Every structure is written in structure tokens, then in C-alpha cells.
Copies of this chain bind each other. A is one copy, B any other.
């Protein structure tokens, strides 16, 4: 058996946590618990599950200091950021409680029997039901908000699905602590609704477990693609929702560069270096006009980044990957590393950096995510050139457009960049993802599977599947599909009807 080890990236100290990686029996037990809990989550109903989510939020906040301390000792992200992340995590659970109570997410529809041009139509009623036990693969960079108690877990519980989380090896102690916090909170109501498993083997076994009905993953393209292939190769394939990184392009118009090079440089530097550049929404590729205005922006951005104190990466492996990533970016023809630092950063830390590119076509390597505080600035001559460069950008979570009021510059580049992302920002930086009804955290591959978001109200839909009842007696129908007044919006005979009307 392999012991689970917790490592402090700030000190490099490693300590065994006193338990082993999850074996096959432990995994089977976790999956069975998720199956059993699913039935009880459904029995609770929407309002019962809403209360359960709030109970979990309360339980996490009640152990705030302990959880933040554990996470800081495994991630070195610092108490300010981690307190904020815990607040976000609790807010997310409470937001889903609001979504459940509102009820639209069920998409309840009633078509009474009637005649149509294609003949008589039977009584048909449709809504979404839980898909079944869900596997969640936790992210390295958000030990709370995208890990054991994170958005995927919250959405799956809201949907009525039991969950098994594969803990990220970068923060096992936090995962265990948060897992037991949630278990304590949910046990009396629904049994073990969330289990945590540890280790590579358990991660493989989890996506292959026959009872698992959907899998969600936040992490690297390599790991995500491998799991996606396992999900697709099952005797019964299941939906795989991957968020596999993002380059998050930024487009600065000539007018914006002329008007405010300095403030743009400051804002971009802050967004690139935030959290050690370890965000899926880090702006990794900026298109900046050639010429003196752009030169000023790039020079200032390089200076700003150079002045940032190196921070510990989440793991020593990530620090090493960052160093070799920088090297490979700098080796691309037409690219050069702009960095004032002459001293090598301390082991395990990453120093912010900037890579500038000039050329007709963007080499693919420069459009690949390099995890850490680095961005590539590609210089463009005119709109046509900018659009051509943008054409090499893969699907991304976000695109940030910096324009002046009424600015009609670079229209082709704007259209091209907007077509390949899930969120388009105007004069704002992409780091920071609000939990909201209108949020979309997704985009064309590799950001996600294109048609779903992993943040916001509709992220619940990933764990639901539609069912239609035909000619069903009222006693066989879910309460939300019976005739008479109900407590949620629904569509009746083609007309959307609000509750109480």
C-alpha cells in the first residue's frame, strides 16, 4: 500500500498523513455509498436538498480557520486568498440552494393530450432527473472551490446525485479534512453523500466503475484526455465534462494602446501574476499592436511582472514544469523572453515572465497554456494580421477585449477571438469567475465539451437527464408535473407559466 503524503510547497517538507491510498475495496465502498445517498437525496426533494447544501456551507464556515490552515500548508496560496476561496465555496453551495428553490432548472413541461397536424398527441410530461452517481476529479489550483467541496460537487448534490471525489495529490490533508466535514454534515440526513478517494489507481477505477454515470475533471489536457478516453471506452460510455486548460486571449486595440498603455500594463500584470498565475482564466496570450504605443505597453508590462516577488508554485513539479515551459517558449523562432530578473528564483518558486513574439503566423506552441505567471505578447501590424494570428488560438474559457468607447478598430480580430471562447469580457481582466445565473465557464475544446459550463446555475444540468412520462396517472408523476398550481415555472401546452399564476 502507498501512504498518502502531504507536502508544504513553501518549505518542501513532506509528512505522511497516516492513511493509505484508496484500494479497490475502498473505492467500491465509496461508489456504493454514493448510490445509496442518491436515493435519499431524491427523497429529500428540492427544498430538502437546498437545506442540505446550506448545512454543508455552514459546516465549512464553522471550521474555517482549520480548513484555511490545512490548505495553506499544502498550497502556499496564503490565508487571504484561501479565506476568499472558502467564502466563495460556501456562497456557491448557497447559490445552488437558491437555484433549487426557484425550480426552473428542472425544465418541467406539460403537453396535455390533443390533436396536431401529425395526428393525436398523447399526454406527455417531461422534466430532468438525477443522472446517478458522479465522479469528480479535483483541481490542483483551487483546493476548495474546484476540489472536494467545489462547484462540481455542489452541482451534483443539487441535482440529487451522490458524489465520489478523487482528491488532488497536491492537497490530500485539506481533502480529507473537508471530506469529513461534509460527511459529518450530511450523514444524519442522507448518509455519505460525498466520499473522497486518494491515489492514481483509485482515479482510474473511479471513471470505470459501472455505477458511475458522469465524470467531471478540471486539470491538464493530458490527464483529461486520458480520462475522457476511459469514459468513452466503457461498455456503457458516460458523459465526461473536462475543463482542460485555457490560453484566454487578450486583444488590445490600437486606440486602447494609445490611450492607456500604462494602466493596461498594470492591469494585465496583476491578472497574469495573480495566485502565482495558477488560474485557468490567467490571460496567457495578448495581441498588442506594433508601434510605439504597443512598445510602451509591452515594456511596462515586462517591468511590472519583473518586479513581482517569486512565489512558491503549488508543487515542486509545477515549478519545474514552469521553468521548462519558459525555456521552450523562449526557444520558439520569433519569440524572446522579456524579463529583468537576472537571479534564478528560489527552488519551488516561479518568477513572473513575459514572452514577446513577432512574426506573420503564431507558432502553435505559443498558443498552448503554460501553467504559471507567464504570458505571451504577440504583436500585430493591422486588423488582418491580428485576425490571422488569432486564427491559431484554440478554444478558450475567456477573451478580453480592450477597446476605446466607440472604437471600431480590429473588427476582424474581434470577431475571430469572440468565436472561440465561452466568455467575452470588455475592459476587464479574466481572472475571477463570479458564481451567478449568467455565468459561463466553458468554451470550445479544450476548455470544455463546448455545450456545458462548470460554473453557474446551469452547471447542474451536467448531472441531470431528461425523462418524459406518457399517459401517466397523476399518482405516478413527480409533484412538479401534476396538474394544478405548483411552486416552480413550467411550460404548459407551449406556454411558459410562472408559479402562482
Bound-complex Cα distance A122 to B424 (A): 12
Binds B, one of A1-9, A102-110, A270-278, A310-318: A102-110
Bound-complex Cα distance A489 to B394 (A): 33
Bound-complex Cα distance A496 to B427 (A): 28
Q: Which residues of B contact A87 (CB under 8 A)?
A: 117-118
Contact of A107 with B470 at beta-carbon distance under 8 Å, contacts A117-B87, A118-B87, A496-B498 already known: no
Interface residue A428 (Cβ < 8 Å from any Cβ of B):
yes
Asked if residues B449 and A239 are in contact (CB atoms below 8 Å), the reply is yes
Which of B121, B232, B237, B458 lies in contact with A436, CB distance below 8 A?
B121
Q: Which residues of B contact A466 (CB under 8 A)?
A: 422, 440, 442, 451-453, 458
Q: Which residues of B contact A383 (CB under 8 A)?
A: none
Which of B438, B444, B471 lies in contact with A468, CB distance below 8 A?
B438
Q: How far is the CB of A170 from chain B (nearest CB, A)?
A: 23
Interface residue A376 (Cβ < 8 Å from any Cβ of B):
no
Asked if residues A109 and B450 are in contact (CB atoms below 8 Å), the reply is no
Interface residues of A in 97-135 (CB under 8 A from B): 98, 102, 104, 107, 109-111, 116-119, 121-122, 124-126, 131
Asked if residues A131 and B91 are in contact (CB atoms below 8 Å), the reply is no
Q: Which residues of B contact A131 (CB under 8 A)?
A: 450-451
Which of B117, B122, B232, B450 lies in contact with A239, CB distance below 8 A?
B450
Asked if residues B239 and A470 are in contact (CB atoms below 8 Å), the reply is no
Bound-complex Cα distance A118 to B491 (A): 33
Bound-complex Cα distance A442 to B467 (A): 8
A232 to chain B: closest residue by CB: B232
Bound-complex Cα distance A258 to B125 (A): 29
Bound-complex Cα distance A94 to B117 (A): 10
Interface residue A213 (Cβ < 8 Å from any Cβ of B):
yes
Asked if residues B109 and A437 are in contact (CB atoms below 8 Å), the reply is yes
23 A–B contact pairs at CB < 8 A?
A: A88-B118, A90-B117, A104-B496, A111-B437, A116-B434, A126-B438, A126-B440, A228-B232, A232-B232, A236-B395, A236-B444, A239-B450, A425-B470, A426-B471, A426-B473, A428-B470, A437-B491, A437-B494, A438-B491, A439-B468, A440-B468, A444-B465, A489-B496
